[in-house]
Structure 1
Amino acid sequence: MAQFVDSIEAAVDRVLDTVKGDVVLGIPLAIGKPNPFVNALYRRMKGNPARRLRIVTALSLEKPVGKSELEEHFLGPLVERVFEDYPDLLYVKDLRAGTLPAHIEVREFFMKTGDYLGNPAAQQNYISTNYTFVARDMAVQGMNVIAQAVGAKGEGEGMRLSLSSNPDVVFEVVEKLRAAGQPLLTVGVVNRKMPFMPNGAEVAPEFFDLVVTDPAGTHAVFCPPNNKVSAADYAIGLHASALVADGGTLQIGIGSLGDAIAQALIVRDRHGDEYRRILESISPDGIEGRELGRFDLGLYGCSEMFVNGFLKLIEAGIIRREVFGDVTLQRALNEGEIDETVTPRTLALLLRHGRIHSPLSADDVAYLKHWGVLREGVQLDGDKLVLDGTKLPNDLISEANLARIGETMLGSRLSHGIFMTGGFFLGPRDFYERLRTMPPQELAKIDMTRIDFINQLYSDNDGQAAVKRAQRRKARFMNTTMIVTLLGAACSDALESGQVVSGVGGQYNFVAMAHALPDARLLMMLRATHDNKDGLKSSIVWSYGHVTIPRHLRDIVVTEYGAADLRGQSDSEVVKRLIAVADSRFQEELIRQAKAHGKLESNYELPERYRHNLPEALEEKLHPWAQAGLLPDFPFGTDLTEDELHIVRALKRLKHATQHPGELLTMAIKSLWESKDAPLPYLERLGLAETHSFKDAFVKRLLANNL
């Protein structure tokens, strides 16, 4: 039985009394961390060097922090309004500052993108692993405590718990450690603001050794605001959306690219003529063979990360293709032999495939009632089927009797269908609020479940490879990468130096599934260029010193300039297709390098239609559709006010200029000749209402001229 504890400090006492010696704490990635409990344990162990603490986790999130005085002034009110009482993790603060005590270490298998570059402790303690190996590797670390934030309904003995955002690895961790006889203390900390997710996420309180009900465990859920969707993002999303088959399966990720894909799919479904014209304008090879029609059958969402874009697709009626956890039913649905409406044909099909028998056994009746084929009240009484006083022979062979069963005992529609499967979620404030208030019958169609179910076709325990293959028909696995080589390898997690940018996560798993399923495709998406302090660089390169996905697993690469289908192509054709979707400022150099290495014939010339891959040309093509409201900056809204958006744009221009001295000089000269005034509320927000130095006055002038 679970022990209920009404104090976080008392729960920490229990952990320290139960676990002798060092504590190895496992906590979920992203929002499933019980921050108040983790902070209390961290404080206690920080003050006791005699005992070591190791934290094993991923994606430790903290509220945005300004990297300059301007950013700090701007972010203060925004963070207070958006993140409310979200408590930052103390170990994150110390890890960033380089002040972790010697007896405490943090080992992460996925880091917030780019946040720990140059941080020795974070880089040295990073664990490179696939998402599906995380449970195994947590066990390798010697984990003896696992703690998780949980949603809750009810009180006392009637309390129900949900793993909410993070049923991803906890089940497998508990199974593996207990099967190996490894001691493990499980702690569930109730956060009443976590959405209560049903299905695979719901657990009995007895799943945990300790259930912490302290009100201090309840706080706002971390909620990253929606990012602006750029023209490049939209172009990538549009190209990707035209590769999604109706009646298929979709996986996408977080951020502006995920929002761009979701909005492009909505435009395709609701504004078909305009969608076609937009695609024609940005597709040098035309749109023949692309998927352009409405989603008459709908899509099934199956993604390790359930993001806001998926929720918007559910609300738009695009994510609505229900799948069922029975291979016979699912295959029959796929083949169009039956649909979700229950008829005598449904019974006849299940009988023909040997899934049920005539006469029906007790197990058959239970199976049919579970899937909604028979009404809930149907009972087996000897050789009769009974419902509300009606008795019929337990015989499905007789067509006349089958018809009578159909008239009186069949359900109306298949039940327990799922149209969205996810392992964890993360989104803006309104995303969580929608999940909290969603009608139960809709929420029941969303299944938060184990990552070993989602991210691979085969796993140790589920025995469901056949049903997963049947459910994931026409799958489109959309992943983001940083660099693609001209031979088709992708680098998504680290730099050439070995410095980790983020992590492998589940990318390899989805790549493998895309090749294992007969009608699936992998879409590896990236912006054609990236800009940093070293200047503008091509994201398509001849070679790179580190790869995440080897070139023999290449499939489709999507940039803002098109989709390059690389599957089954020769090296020279791969090179040509990738150069065709590269930024035109780098194409000649890429051609030169490919020829120099013997991968491109010496007389090859890039066709004229690919020589205009430039951001200005792309902006011009998409601008009318942005003006028409089909491609808005924030398709799913934003937590920022209009004034804040104006300030953000100006600050981004200034920040970019500080990394490029020539641009900063031009901006400075222009500001001297074209003096403008910024609105007083903007200056007050940024601490520039009164200037006390030449630097402040200069920054004030730059800001005004960039608004």
Structure 2
Amino acid sequence: MTESARETLYFQSLDEAVELLYRRIDGPLHVGAPLGLGKPHRLLNALYARAEREPARRLHLYTALSLDPPGAGKGLEARFLKPFAQRHFGDDYPRLAYVQALKRNALPAHMEVEEFYLQSGALLNSQAAQSRYASLNYTHVARALADRGVNAVVQKVAADPSGSGRLSLSCNTDLTFDAVDAIVARGLPRPVLIAEVDPLLPWLDGSAAVEASFFDAVVTPPGPYPKLFALPRQPVSDADYAIGFHASTLVRDGGTLQIGIGTLADALCHALVLRHTDNAAYWRVLGALGYDQGGESSGAGVSARGGAASGDVDLSSTRNAKAPVAPLEPFRVGLFGCSEMLNEGFRRLVEVGVIKRKVVDDLDLMRRLHEGRADAADLERLERDGEYLQGGFYLGSQDFYDWLRDLPEDRRRGISMRRISEVNELYGGNETLERLQRHDARFFNSCMMATALGAAVSDTLDDGRVVSGVGGQYNFVAMAHALPDARSVLMLRATRDSGGETRSNVVWNYAQATIPRHLRDVYVTEYGIADLRGKTDEDCIQAMVAVAAAGHQFPLLEDAMRHGKLPRATYRLSDRNDPQRLRDALAPLRAQGALPDYPLGSDFTAVEQRLVKALGWLKANTAGGGAKARTVFKALFSSGAADAEAMQRMGLAQPSGFGEKIQARLVALALRETA
């Protein structure tokens, strides 16, 4: 049946939509659902409830990033989180029933959930989620769905506010089109497609919009409508800021930008904003990090080979002169944003005019533009029809969704939601066009750990448990090597606190790797930039040691020498790689307002912001037995004015009982320590 001939059914009842699935599909249901925001929570919960009642019909769900608001926790965490979660997510937010079952290890035997990307750390202890995780590059997911014989796809959509009857895949164009095409190309029946309309989902036109007849059924459940899932914006630490500003020196005006998610990405975006809007303040931050006006840093990595068989090798004053440091003036041409995920940072970059370079899907025009032969008509068309931001899915705060919803039409047209095969891949489409559009690309992503030989650990612990997933990281790393002027930049904090100990995130080796070392490119920690592309193992090790934290560098050198990767020598290291020195260097800039705690806005009230900082300090200072004892002792025997508003917010203004009184003392201490 052709799309134009297909009869689209309309429902208000979720149960009627589920009934359609059961009626149209014989045997097991193999249901695909988008990742993140585009997942139709209410429809999926209705499907789960039906499947629970009918164990004779197996249900296989294929999806990713099943978003679940944080649980209340216990103790001080519960006191803080419960009121915040009620306000931020709403009491009526439809938690996914299958996620709750996975967390309890109670998924019924006739149901199976297979995800290729997990909400970070949320399902580490779920046996079913861990065993049925599929490690897939984002661009290979559509093929995998065809392999599994997916016979239904359910998706949240937006309705055209003009009343045309068209629907927009809005936040998730990433996989639906690719998956349907892959399934049909395999010779399988076109899957049953059901859309759930959410009036709160922003409308995006262009490649995101389809006729209603694309779907077999459209369900518009009655209100009230729960809030869209919004990621709470987190505070940016000194280490995060140092990483973001180091990374920002690699971005070239007129180039292409891809960024991931999290506070490292937030810090990078703030650095780019400051570079454009207050270049003097931007340079003050770089100066604090050791850069001179030439854009080089005395602590930014290693470029010179220190290969003497004996004697001293000085790593303390080398600079990464071969790193792709760009001119660091404000952006004149601006950047083209092309990222699998659009988020808060892109909003800010568009607002201040950093993201503004436009592209069109016209090879001849892009070639003329690239060669400097574009005429007035070309430039007029570029301005009228060009796109400055392309993505496969979006996820962010309520402010971000409001921004998308309220954009003027001419500005909204410049945002194009596309298939993931177009955004994350060069091959299989118009490769020549995409190469012209994506010149001087910088692909920024985060990782958990990196080895001294250049492999990245981004998604899996050494015991095999999955924290998140590879997602599109490999795609962008590989693309950086395929484009002649592109770079992949993986950002990571030099250390982490674990079990009361500070451990290095730059390690000699690790049991799991997300990015193999033969694709090593650029790494950034708070202590600088390590440019590894094309380097020998010896040079890579020296560069990674130079950006590791003090106290963790010599063990790496010793491992390298023991395994014959470095010559036996005396290595002199910089004393700059110290967190206290970093805090001291950035403190004046914090006080001046150049480095705000929440550079992209906050979802916390003013008192909650103070509490977030205080509770973070408390967590760090009670991580081990000895540290906990010292902190409790200090709390019991120290005095000072209490933050009455914060104590009231935590329900500890008038503590009763010994336990509450200890909690009140600890919170009061933490607030004083972080004031």
In the superposition, the TM-score normalised over structure 1's length comes to: 0.87
Among 212, 222, 234, the alignment partner of 1:215 is 222
- What displacement does 1:654 show? 2.9
User: For residue 333 of structure 2, what is the aligned residue in structure 1?
Assistant: 297
* Residue-by-residue CA offset, 1:504-561 (whole Å, 9 max, x unaligned): 0001110111000010011011000111226211010111111111111111110011
1:434 maps onto 2:403 in alignment: yes
Pair 1:542 & 2:578 matched: no
- 1:640-672 deviation per Cα after TM superposition (whole angstroms, max 9, x unaligned): 111112222232233334431111111111112
Measured after TM superposition, the shift of residue 217 of structure 1 is 8.6
AA aligned opposite 1:422: G
1:676 and 1:701 in contact (8 A); partners too: no
Q: Is 1:266 paired with 2:273?
A: yes
The equivalent of 1:407 in structure 2 is none
Q: Residue type of the partner of 1:162?
A: S
Matched, 1:26 2:62: no
Aligned-partner SS, 2:385 = coil
**How far apart are the structure 2 equivalents of 1:624 and 1:70?**
31
Residues 1:59 and 2:95 aligned together: no
Residue 95 of structure 1, aligned match among 98, 102, 117: 102
Quote how far apart the aligned CAs of 1:414 are: 4.9
- Cα deviation, 1:306-327, whole Å, max 9, x if unaligned, reads 0110110000011000011111
Structure 1 counterpart of 2:479:
513
**1:57-136 to 2 correspondences below 5 Å:** 57-84=63-90, 85-136=92-143
8 Å CA contact 1:305, 1:422 repeated in 2: yes
Residues in 1 aligned to 2:117 and 2:48: alpha-carbon distance in whole angstroms: 21
Please point out which of 227, 237, 243 is paired with 2:244: 237
Alpha-carbon contact 1:2-1:211 (below 8 Å) kept = yes
| 8 Å Cα contact 1:555-1:566 kept in structure 2 | yes
Give the Cα separation in 2 of the matches to 1:452 and 1:217. Answer: 36
Q: Does structure 1 residue 316 correspond to structure 2 residue 348?
A: no
Count of aligned pairs between the two proteins = 634
Of 15, 30, 40 in structure 2, the residue corresponding to residue 9 of structure 1 is 15
Q: After TM superposition, list the pairs within 5 Å mapping 1:148-167 onto structure 2.
A: 148-154=155-161, 158-167=164-173
Q: Distance in 2 between matches of 1:539 and 1:197?
A: 40
Match of 1:631 in 2: 595
Query: For residues 615 and 666 of structure 1, do their structure 2 counterparts lie closer, same or farther at Cα, with a shift above 3 Å needed?
Result: same
| Counterpart for residue 705 of structure 1 | 669
1:567 aligned partner, one-letter code:
R
**Aligned residue number for residue 353 of structure 1:** none
Cα distance between partner residues in 2 of 1:119 and 1:36? 23
- Counterpart selection for 2:259 from 252, 260, 265: 252
- Say if 1:154 and 1:160, in contact at 8 Å, map to a contact too: no
2:50 to 18, 21, 44: 44
Equivalent of residue 653 in structure 1, options 614, 617, 642: 617
Q: Does the 8 A contact of 2:58 with 2:111 survive in 1? A: yes
Distance 1:275 1:440 in 2: 33
Q: CA deviation at 1:66?
A: 2.4
Displacement of 1:618 in angstroms is 0.8
CA distance in 2, matches of 1:686, 1:292: 44
Deviations 1:551-587 (A, max 9, x none): 1111111001101111111111111111111101211
Q: Is it true that 1:423 corresponds to 2:392 in the alignment?
A: yes
Aligned-residue CA RMSD in angstroms?
1.8
CA distance in 2, matches of 1:209, 1:448: 22
Q: Match for residue 464 of structure 2?
A: 498
Q: Which amino acid aligns with 1:520?
A: A
**Cα distance, 1:136–1:217 mapped onto 2, change above 3 Å:** farther
1:306 to 331, 342, 364: 342
Which residue of the other structure, out of 526, 535, 539, is the alignment partner of 1:573? 539
For the residue of structure 2 that corresponds to 1:181, the secondary structure is: coil
Is 1:666 matched with 2:630? yes
Hey, what does 2:451 align to over in structure 1?
485
Aligned to 1:173: 179
Decide whether aligned partners of structure 1 residues 25 and 155 sit closer, same or farther in structure 2, where only a CA change above 3 A counts. Answer: farther
Corresponding residue for 1:614?
578
Partner of 2:206: 199
State which of 589, 592, 608 in structure 1 corresponds to 2:558.
Answer: 592
Q: Is the 8 A contact 2:647 2:668 kept in 1?
A: no
Spell out, residue by residue over 1:435-478, the C-alpha distance to the aligned partner (whole angstroms, 9 max, x if none): 0010000000000110000001002xxx3111111100000001
Alignment partner of 1:329: what SS? helix
C-alpha distance in structure 2 between counterparts of 1:121 and 1:221, whole Å: 27
C-alpha displacement of 1:684: 4.6
- Secondary structure of the corresponding residue to residue 275 of structure 1: helix
Q: Residues 141 and 33 of structure 1: is their aligned pair in 2 closer, same or farther, counting only changes over 3 Å?
A: same
| Contact 2:642/2:668 (<8 A) preserved | yes
SS at match of 2:608: helix
Larger mean CA deviation between 533-542 and 269-278 belongs to 269-278
Q: CA deviation at 1:98?
A: 1.5
Q: 2:416 aligns with which of 447, 451, 455?
A: 447
Kept in 1, the 8 Å contact 2:622–2:631? The answer is: no
**Is contact 1:36–1:217 with CA below 8 Å preserved after alignment?**
no
Kindly report which structure 2 residues correspond to 1:391-430, keeping only aligned pairs within 5 A, or say none: 414-430=383-399
2:118 touches 2:469 (CA, 8 Å); kept in 1?
yes
Contiguous gaps of at least 5 residues in structure 2: 1-6, 297-324
Do the aligned partners of 1:678 and 1:703 also contact (CA within 8 Å) in 2? no
Q: 1:604: how far off?
A: 4.2
Corresponding residue SS for 1:148: strand
Structure 1 Cα separation of the partners of residues 170 and 362 of structure 2: 25
Deviation at 1:626, TM superposition (A): 1.8
Distance across 2 between alignment mates of 1:335 and 1:278: 36
Matched letter for residue 595 of structure 1: M
Distance 1:697 1:277, change over 3 A: closer
Q: How much does 1:677 deviate? A: 6.4
What secondary structure does 1:239 align onto? helix
Task: Give the drift of 1:681.
Answer: 5.0
Matches within 5 A, 1:140-155: 140-154=147-161
Q: 1:182 to 1:678 in 2, by over 3 A?
A: farther
* CA positional deviation for 1:628: 1.6
User: Partner of 1:287 in structure 2?
Assistant: 295
The one-character-per-residue Cα deviations of 1:373-414 (angstroms, maximum 9, x if unpaired) are: 6xxxxxxxxxxxxxxxxxxxxxxxxxxxxxxxxxxxxxxx65
- Tell me which amino acid in the other structure corresponds to 2:494: A
SS of the residue 2:496 aligns to? strand
Which amino acid in the other structure matches residue 242 of structure 1? T
